[in-house]
Amino acid sequence: MHPTANQIRRQFIDFFVKKYGHKEIPSASLIPENDPTVLFTTAGMHPLVPYLIGESHPAGKRLANAQKCVRTDDIDEVGDTTHLTFFEMLGNWSLGDYFKEEAIKSSFELLTLPWERGGFGLDKTKIAISCFKGDSDAPCDKESAEIWKSLGIPDERIAFLPKKNNWWGPAGQTGPCGPDTEMFYWTPPNDAPKNFDSDDGKWVEIWNDVFMQYNKKPDGTFEPLKQKNVDTGLGLERLVAILHGKPSHYETELFAPAMEKIKELSRVGREIESGYIRSSRIIAD
């Protein structure tokens, strides 16, 4: 039996709360408060921006949550097997507390520990990584790559990619942002290829650890934030599809029952059931 989506969400939060002293915070509203720059909450970082730039959070420096998000910047990809407009983002947060080493090690631990020991039981041999390649704004993130290597990820499974792929934020035009390292999982049942090809869609991005250490200024330049933060984002729906061995999130318990009901209630669904569409096509032919 697979764990349910609710159990998977709980496993994520409990890992950080019980093992690494994070406080669970509720999902913020989908309608951002006091922020006229966007219509909806688009990412877990959005409601936490004041705390990423230094305000102290009432729950402390280590937080974990499941943030409901509406994201439209990749709307052209919605309808494929991995993109949604509405989804839940599981996240752990360090507000000026731990940084790269602890973030990466705890991500790897949670992904690969067996379920009974608090993890998701993913196969280490099917994991690949991307790190920020560096540019005139920020250096190449060799440090993250070294940490991944120390955990057993081989060189050929680590890609260095530009800002377009490996940079997160700011939520609007200005504010906290930084390079990230992303975890990919080989989704087909066969063995993963030796080399990681980030353009091969069978490698699905499942989680990112963002190192929010810069502030983007109105003139487009970057300055160091007064604290170094970690913002991670793991899409619940993608993870459920992988743990349930489904090729698409639409085939998981999060969507399939609703889609079945729609089919049952709709004319097309009833016609398919009764063979009407087939016979009417035959008559039309």
Rounded CA Rg of the chain: 21
In angstroms, what is the minimal distance from the CB of 42 to ligand GLY? 8
- Which residues touch 120 (CB under 8 Å, ≥6 apart)? 8, 11, 110, 111, 112, 113, 239, 243
If the CB atoms of residues 2 and 105 are measured against ligand GLY, the closer one turns out to be: 105
> According to the binding rule CB under 6 A, does residue 41 interact with ligand GLY?
no
Is residue 237 a contact point for ligand GLY (CB under 6 A)? no
Q: Strand ranges (DSSP E) for the chain?
A: 23-24, 62-70, 86-94, 127-132, 158-161, 167-168, 175-186, 203-216, 222-235
Burial class (CB in 10 A: 0-12, 13-18, 19+), 256: middle
Q: What's the distance, CA 175 to chain centroid?
A: 21
Q: Does 89 bind ligand GLY (CB under 6 A)?
A: yes
* C-beta nearest to ligand GLY: residue: 233
Stretch that binds ligand GLY, among 52-60, 105-113, 158-166, 231-239 (CB under 6 A): 231-239
Task: From 22-30, 57-65, 226-234, 238-246, give the range in contact with ligand GLY by CB under 6 A.
Answer: 226-234
CB of 43 to ligand GLY, least distance (A): 3
Closest CB to ligand GLY among 2 and 57?
Answer: 57
Q: How far is the CB of 232 from ligand GLY (least distance, A)?
A: 6
* Residues across the chain: 285
- Would you count residue 103 as binding ligand GLY (CB under 6 A)? no
Nearest distance from C-beta of residue 271 to ligand GLY, angstroms: 41
- Within its chain, how far is the Cα of 97 from the centroid? 21
Q: Is 231 in the site for ligand GLY (CB under 6 A)?
A: yes
Count of other CB atoms within 10 angstroms of residue 180: 26
Q: Is 8 in the site for ligand GLY (CB under 6 A)?
A: no
Q: Are 191 and 125 in contact (CB under 8 A)?
A: yes
- Given candidates 8, 13, 43, 103, which one binds ligand GLY under the rule CB under 6 A? 43
State which of positions 179-208 bind ligand GLY (CB under 6 A): 208
CA–CA separation, 65 and 229 (whole Å): 16
- Is residue 232 a contact point for ligand GLY (CB under 6 A)? yes
Residue type, 216: K
Would you tell me which residues interact with ligand GLY (CB under 6 A)? 43-44, 89, 168, 208, 210, 231-233
